[in-house]
Structure 1
C-alpha cells in the first residue's frame, strides 16, 4: 500500500491535527531573512544584491510553509519554484534552502515521497543548469561556473534532507504500526475475554437450568399425587438456582476493575462430588472412577466445565438415567471420558446446541482435543484429552 493511500491526502492523523504552524514558520522566516542578509554581505561582489524582488521571493518561500501540513504537495513545489527563481536571479546562497528542506520533510512525512523528491530533483536540475550553463546570461554579470566545493556543499544538503526525511518517515510508520498492533492485540484480548465469559455463562446456566427444568417437570407432575416429592423437587430448584446465581456472580466479578482479585476461586475437579450430587437431584446417577491429578488452574476449570456440560447433555438429551465419568492421567495428559447408555431422546431442555462447540473451544485453547459421538452399543461418549499443565496458548505459564 502506498503511503498516500495509507494516510490519506492530508497525511497521518497525528500530522493533520496540529493546525497551522505559525510559530515555527515565523521563526524560520526571521532566520532566513537575517541569514540571507548576512550571506549577502559575505558574498558581496560575487552574487547579486538583495533587492525587493529577492525579499519577495524569500517571503513567498517562507509564507508557503504555513500550509505545509494541509497542502504538502503544493507547498513543496511552490517553495522549489521560489528558490529556483531566487537562484536564477543570481542572489546569494544562504538559508533560503531551508524552506525547501522543511517542505520536503513535511511532504515525506505526510506520505508524498514522490512529489517531494520530484520537487527536490527539479530544483537540483535548475541549480546545475544555472551553475554550469545559464550563468553566462543570468545575473550577476561576469559570473563564473560554480566551484566543486560549492557543489559538494549543495550535494551534502540534498543528502541530509533525504536522510532526515526518510528517517522521520520510517520512524513514524514504525510507531503507527506499533500503535495498530497494540490496538489489535487489545481488541483480540477483549474478544477472547468476551468469549470466555460467554462460555462460562453458557456452561453455568445450561447445567443449572437443565436441573431446574427437570425438577420443575417432576414437581408439576407430582404436585397433587405426591406433595412431599413435589416439595423435594422445589427444594432442588431453589438449591440449583441459588448455586447458579453464585456462579454467575463469580463470572461477572471478572468484569470489575482490572487487577481486582476474584472473590471466590474458580471451580475445578475437586468440586466433582457437588456435580454428582446436582446430577442426582436431577434424577441422574453418576459413577466416578479415578482421582484427578494436580492440575493448572486453567486445565482444572476446563475439565470441570467439560464434565458439567457432558452431564448436562445426558440429562437433556439421553434416555439413560445413568452416566459414568472416568479420570486418567497418562504422560502429563489428562483424559476425561463421560459415557451414558442412551438412547438419545431428542429432547432439548432449553439448549441451543452450543455445548459441544464450547467444550471443543475450551480444549483447543489449552492445546487439547474433544471427541464426542454415539457409541456402537447405542450410548454416547465424550472423550477429552487435556494437558495437565496449561500451555502458553491457554494463557498460563507454569
Structure 2
C-alpha cells in the first residue's frame, strides 16, 4: 500500500513538472521568438515542438534515456526548423539530469558535446545563424557545470545507497546474532536437561530391572533396589525444579552454586516478549478479580529446591549413585587438586556421570575406574570400564546422544573428548578440559573425531 501511494505521488509530481515546464516553454518561447527578428515565426509546428518535450517528461523516471534522447531530438528539430533560441532547453536539461543520475554515463555524457556541436557551434553557423562568442564559450562553460552537477548527484546517490546497504547488512547481522544466541540457549538448556535426567533415569532403569529379577528370589535385595529408585527419582525431581527455576529467573544453571552462569547472558527478544505478555495477562487478570476478592498480604513466590551443583571436589559423593546401582568404581587423583571454575567443574562432573551411566546401561557386570589428573593448564579425565560380564544390556534403548553431548560440552569450553573401545577390551572416555574457561569471543577448536557409544 505504501509503495503504491509513493508511486502515485511520484507520477503526480512528474505530471505537475511537465505542466509547469510546458507553460514556461510556450510563454517564454513566444516572447523569445518575438525578440529575434531574423528567425522563423512560431506556428502550429513550433508550438507542438515546444509542448512535445514537456509532455515526454511525464515518463522521465520510467524511461530516462529514451526521454532524454527524445527531448534532444525535439530541440534539434526546433532549431533546424529556424525557430529562435529560448526556454525549449528546459525540458532537455531536466531529462538529461534524470538520465545522467539514474542511468549509464555512456548513454548520457557523450551526448553533451554532441548537443553542443549541433545546437551551439559549429552546426548553427553552417546553417547561417549568427553565433557570438558568448554563446560559444559561455554555453561551453555552462555545459561543464551541468556535467559536474550531474556527477555530484550520482556520487551522492551512490553514498546513500552504500549507507542503506551497510545498515541493512548490520540489521541482518544483528538478527543472525540474536538467532545464534537463542540457538545456543536452546542447546544449553537441552544439554542440561539431558545431563540432569539421563543419569537418574538410567539408574532408575537399571535398578528397576534388578528389582524385577530379584523380586521373588531375593526380596530384601529387591527392596534395596526400590529404595535406590526412590532416592534417584527424588533427586532427579529436585534437580529439574532447580533447573526450571533458573530458566524462569534468567539465572545460570551449571554455575548456580557459585553465582556463575552457564548460559549466555543475552535473552532472545521472543523470550522477553513472551514473558512480558505473560506478566501483562496476569496483571489484567488481577485487575478483574481485585474487587471480588478480599485483600490479603501477597504470598511469597514458591522457592524452588536448590541442590548443589555436581563437583569433582567431592568425587565420592559424585559416584554415590553409580555405586548404589551396583557399579564398582575405583578412583585415582593425580597431581595437586585445586578449585576449578564452576563451569569447568560442572562439565567435568557431568562427563564422569554420563560415562558411568553408559557403563551401567551398556556394560552390565563391568567394573569402572575414574582417573582425575590436575595440571597447571588443564584437568584430564579418564573413565575406563572392563569387559561386560552380563549377556545383554539392561538399557531399554540402544541409541542416544550421551557422548555427542559430552563432546559438545568439552568443545564449548575449548577442550577435547575422545571415546572408543580399548584394545584390551572394555571402553574408555578421555577428556581434557582447560583450567580456565576460554574468553567469550575466542573460537573453539574443532571437535575430535571418535567412535560414539550411545546413551
TM range (shorter): 0.7 to 0.9
Contact 1:365 1:394 in 2 (8 A): no
| Aligned residue in 2 for 1:359 | 406
Residues 211, 279 of structure 1: 8 Å contact kept: yes
Q: 2:65 aligns with which of 77, 84, 89?
A: 77
Partner residue of 1:58 out of 50, 54, 57 = 54
1:189 to 175, 178, 181: 181
| Residue 381 of structure 1 pairs with residue 428 of structure 2 | yes
Residue aligned with 1:295, SS: coil
1:54-203 alignment to 2 at 5 Å?
54-55=50-51, 57-61=53-57, 63-64=58-59, 74-85=62-73, 87-88=75-76, 89=78, 91-94=87-90, 97=93, 101=97, 116-117=103-104, 120-133=105-118, 135=120, 136=123, 142=130, 145=136, 147-203=139-195
Q: Counterparts in 2 of 1:203-222, with a 5 A limit?
A: 203-222=195-214
- Give, in angstroms, the shift of residue 388 of structure 1: 1.3
273, 296, 299: which one pairs with 2:344? Answer: 299
Alignment: residue pair count: 360
Deviation at 1:76, TM superposition (A): 3.1
How large is the Cα RMSD of the aligned pairs?
4.1
Tell me, what secondary structure is at the counterpart of 1:133? Answer: helix
Cα deviation, 1:342-390, whole Å, max 9, x if unaligned, reads 3376626135242222222221222111132333443432221111111
Q: What CA distance in whole angstroms lies between the structure 2 residues aligned with 1:55 and 1:237?
A: 96
Cα distance, 1:306 vs structure 2: 0.9
Deviation at 1:151, TM superposition (A): 1.9
Is the CA contact (8 Å cut-off) linking 1:367 and 1:394 kept in structure 2?
Answer: no
Q: Distance in 1 between matches of 2:245 and 2:208?
A: 29
Residue matched to 1:261: 251
Question: In 2, Cα distance between the equivalents of 1:292 and 1:41?
Answer: 98
Distance in structure 1 (CA, Å) of the matches to 2:220 and 2:193:
33
> SS where residue 189 of structure 1 aligns?
helix
CA radius of gyration, larger in? 2
Say if 1:371 and 1:384, in contact at 8 Å, map to a contact too.
Answer: yes
Structure 2: gaps of 5 or more residues: 80-86, 263-308, 444-455
Quote the Cα distance in structure 1 between the aligned partners of 2:339 and 2:436.
9
Distance in 2 of aligned mates of 1:27 and 1:140: 40
- Output the CA distance in 2 between the equivalents of 1:97 and 1:298: 71
Q: Do the aligned partners of residues 336 and 56 (structure 1) sit closer, same or farther apart at CA in structure 2, a change above 3 Å counting?
A: same
CA 1:262/1:375 → structure 2, altered by over 3 Å: closer, same or farther?
Answer: closer
TM-score by length of 1: 0.73
- The answer to whether residue 3 in structure 2 is matched with residue 20 in structure 1 is no
1:316 aligns with 2:374: no
Which position in structure 2 is the counterpart of 1:234?
226
Moved more, 237-246 or 39-48: 39-48
Distance change (3 Å), C-alpha of 1:206 and 1:351: farther
Write the mapping of 1:327-338 to structure 2, written as runs, cut at 5 A: 327-338=372-383
TM-score (norm 2): 0.65
Alignment correspondent of 1:369 = 416
In the alignment, the residues of structure 2 paired with residue 363 and residue 170 of structure 1 have an alpha-carbon distance, to the nearest angstrom, of 42
Moved more, 162-171 or 320-329: 320-329
Q: Does the 8 Å contact 2:386/2:427 carry over to 1?
A: yes
